[in-house]
Structure 1
Amino acid sequence: MVRTPLTPEERERGERLGRLLRDARGGRSMADVAADAGISPETLRKIETGRAPTPAFFTIAALARTLGLSMDDLAGQCALVVL
């Protein structure tokens, strides 16, 4: 299966998600948050840096739960901006 390349807007949305998660993590270590969410630190690193701009739903749900974030708020803040 060949993936369709991401648009610049989709890449920006992934970077925005990464910033939101990184900010919510605050002073907690990446390893601690990843362990609590049941993912690898490398996966969290890729999401936070925008290198994984389309993470799986359940990964984001686990991170949101771990960080005390609302999925509705994350979705609203990461919505595609169409001009």
Structure 2
Amino acid sequence: MVRNPLTPEERERGERLGTLLREARGDRTMTEVAAAAGISAETLRKIETGRAPTPAFFTVVALAAALGLSTDTLASACAHPCEPQPLSA
């Protein structure tokens, strides 16, 4: 199976996700956060640097939990600036 190339928008979204995760990690090491999320440090490195801009859903959920972030926070931070944001209830 051949994977379609990522669009520029998908790459930008991956970069926004990586930046958010890196900032949320703060002083903790990649190894600490990766272990808490149940993923490898190399996987976390690829996500943070944008080399894996479309990580699996459960990987993102595990990282959010390990970093104390809500999935809503991740979704809104990674949405394209021109995309409509959901209204708060």
Q: Which TM-score band applies after superposition, normalised by the shorter structure?
A: over 0.9
Unaligned runs of 5+ in 2: 84-89
Instruction: Indicate the structure (1 or 2) with the bigger Cα radius of gyration.
Output: 2
Q: Percent identity?
A: 75
- Is residue 2:85 matched to residue 1:76? no
**Conserved in 2, the CA contact under 8 Å of 1:10 and 1:53?**
yes
Q: Equivalents in 1 of 2:4, 2:64: separation in Å?
A: 27
Q: Equivalents in 1 of 2:73, 2:81: separation in Å?
A: 15
Aligned match of 1:49: 49
Q: Normalising by structure 2, report the TM-score.
A: 0.89
> Which amino acid letter does the alignment assign opposite residue 60 of structure 2?
I
Mapping for residues 1-83 of structure 1, pairs under 5 Å: 1-82=1-82
Shift of 1:4: 1.0
Q: Equivalents in 1 of 2:13, 2:44: separation in Å?
A: 16
**Conserved in 2, the CA contact under 8 Å of 1:33 and 1:66?**
yes
CA RMSD of aligned residues (A): 1.2
Runs of 4+ in 1 over 2 A off after TM superposition: 80-83
Q: Equivalents in 1 of 2:35, 2:77: separation in Å?
A: 25
Spell out, residue by residue over 1:33-63, the C-alpha distance to the aligned partner (whole angstroms, 9 max, x if none).
0001000000000000000000000000000
Shift of 1:79: 1.2
What is the count of residue pairs matched by the alignment? 83
Unaligned runs of 5+ in 1: none
Q: Equivalents in 1 of 2:81, 2:51: separation in Å?
A: 20
